Amino acid sequence: MPDGNPQIIQNQDQELERPEPKHFTRFNCEPADRLTAEAVEAFRIEHGIRSGKGQTRALCGFLMTCKALEKRTEQTFTWPSSKTVLTNYEANQRVRNTLMGLYFHQEGPTGCNWTKKATVYRLDVMPDTCGLRFQETNPRNLVEVRDFKSGQGGLFFYEPTGEILKEQTCLHEFGEQKFRGELQRMQDLNEYLSKNPLTLNGDIYRYLVRKFNNRSLSHGGRLYGGYSAQEKCYRASATIAGEPIVQLDVKASFLFIRAALGNVNLGEGSGDPYGQLPFVVDEHSRKFAKALLSAMISSGGTKQNMPPKIRNKFPEIVTKSTTMRTFQEPILQIFPFLEKEVDGLHVMYRESEAILKVLELGMEWSIPAWPLHDCIFVRKRDLHIGVEMIKTGFEEEIGFRPTISVNPLDGSPEYDI
């Protein structure tokens, strides 16, 4: 590993009872070049870790996580702790046990797991990862269907905290044709994208995984890549197949889709939906409105109480004299369709179907696109056709054409199309 003193990480007070991880350690990765392979091997020898493929994958996963956390203030991460989610369980645990105490410690009291399948750790010492480059290998599952959550679930309604169903269970419950159809879609997409990899923060990504919730193929369904939790600052230097990228966001995507399900168009020609609310007066209050509406839609349409996470994040807006009703009444006046309950995970599913439709159009149109929830990255030279690709895909899936926010990722202002 390149020479350099380790950077000591200052611990911060954790506001949440359960720590929230900022990165999820993945072990389907390997060195992308000879120098990285030599550095990982030197790191293994330095710490007396036995040789083997499983140990090397675990070390690569840890060092790749450290790279992702380098510019984060809150340097917390998960390390899988269940045999059901690890292919080399014993090797992973040996590596974790060797490095724990030297580089990180378990966050929260003993047994304070983020989910039953992973434990949260806080980085104390940042190993020198300068110049290291990793690349993805095939993920274990291209389509994951998780069971219903047990207990209170996670911090957010969409956390996939239930058990991952085995493939045979999925084939039996959903039917062979339907589930194999989902697998085939992801296989076709990954075959195309692997030839047009996304490089971000020096690491190479070639695969996406689709994750469903609540033992259903119509709940959730978002697409996830190993880059999904990376800091925004790395996007400016990212490339697709070696070419610079732009970011295309579906404006107010969650609200736009929920409105479309009520046959209301908040897309092209409607302006900024959040700007219609009387309490939105600047960018900060717009972020508050976005968070609150997302929470309402996630809950089915309305909420009785203000979510603590939103209250804590916007204390100057959500004061002691305000209640959920203070904001919900004007919201329902502007967007009355929210009064009809619609499952939030189904709204997310419709969003994921629209994004997947866009990526499949990209294969047809020879426009490689990488998703991040409600946005996609395309090559700069594909900007205008990429915008049309999103509008067409959403119109075919949702019924309306969205407004697209273009972020050139070169320091110039964002703009809407």
pLDDT in tens, the chain (417 residues): 444 343 433 333 333 455 678 999 989 999 999 999 999 999 999 999 999 999 999 999 999 999 999 999 999 999 987 766 667 889 999 999 999 999 999 986 544 454 556 789 999 999 999 999 999 999 989 999 999 875 444 434 444 457 889 999 999 999 999 999 999 999 999 999 999 999 999 999 999 999 999 999 999 999 999 999 899 999 999 999 999 999 999 999 999 999 999 999 999 999 999 999 999 999 999 999 999 999 999 999 888 899 999 999 999 999 999 999 999 999 999 999 999 999 999 999 999 999 999 999 999 999 999 999 899 999 999 999 999 999 999 999 999 999 999 999 999 999 999
Where is 168: in which H helix or E strand? Answer: helix 167-174
* Residue 124 phi, psi dihedral angles, 5° rounding: -105, -40
d(CA 230, CA 236): 12
Q: List alpha helices for 315-378, DSSP H.
A: 324-334, 344-365
Q: What's residue 80's pLDDT?
A: 84
d(CA 292, CA 298): 10
Q: Which of 171, 159, 299 has its CA nearest to residue 220?
A: 159
d(CA 366, CA 375): 18
Interior angle at CA 369, CA 265 and CA 364, nearest 5: 85
Q: Which of 178, 145, 150, 179 has its CA nearest to residue 164?
A: 145
Where is 231: in which H helix or E strand? Answer: none
Tell me if 205 sits within 8 A of 136, measured CB to CB: yes
Query: To which residue do tokens 């076709």 refer?
Result: 188
> What contacts 289, CB < 8 A, 6 or more positions away?
274, 277, 279, 280
Tell me if 210 sits within 8 A of 222, measured CB to CB: yes
At 345 the three-state DSSP class reads helix
Burial 340-372 (b: 16+ CB within 10 A, else e): eebbbbbbbbbbbbbbbbbbbbbbeeebbbbbb
* Residue 262 phi, psi dihedral angles, 5° rounding: -100, 15
> What contacts 233, CB < 8 A, 6 or more positions away?
71
Q: List alpha helices for 14-86, DSSP H.
A: 34-46, 53-69
Tokens of 414: 């964002």
Tell me if 135 sits within 8 A of 32, measured CB to CB: yes
* Residue 145 phi, psi dihedral angles, 5° rounding: -120, 120
Tell me if 337 sits within 8 A of 325, measured CB to CB: no
Where is 256: in which H helix or E strand? Answer: helix 253-261
Tell me if 296 sits within 8 A of 302, measured CB to CB: yes
d(CA 154, CA 136): 27
Q: What's residue 3's pLDDT?
A: 41
Strand partners, 415: 406
Q: What's residue 67's pLDDT?
A: 96
Strand partners, 144: 211
Interior angle at CA 129, CA 128 and CA 135, nearest 5: 160
Tell me if 26 sits within 8 A of 86, measured CB to CB: no
Tell me if 403 sits within 8 A of 416, measured CB to CB: yes
Tokens of 368: 């490689």
d(CA 225, CA 69): 16
Q: Which of 31, 43, 53, 32 has its CA nearest to residue 3?
A: 43
How do beta strands 104-106 and 29-31 pair? unpaired
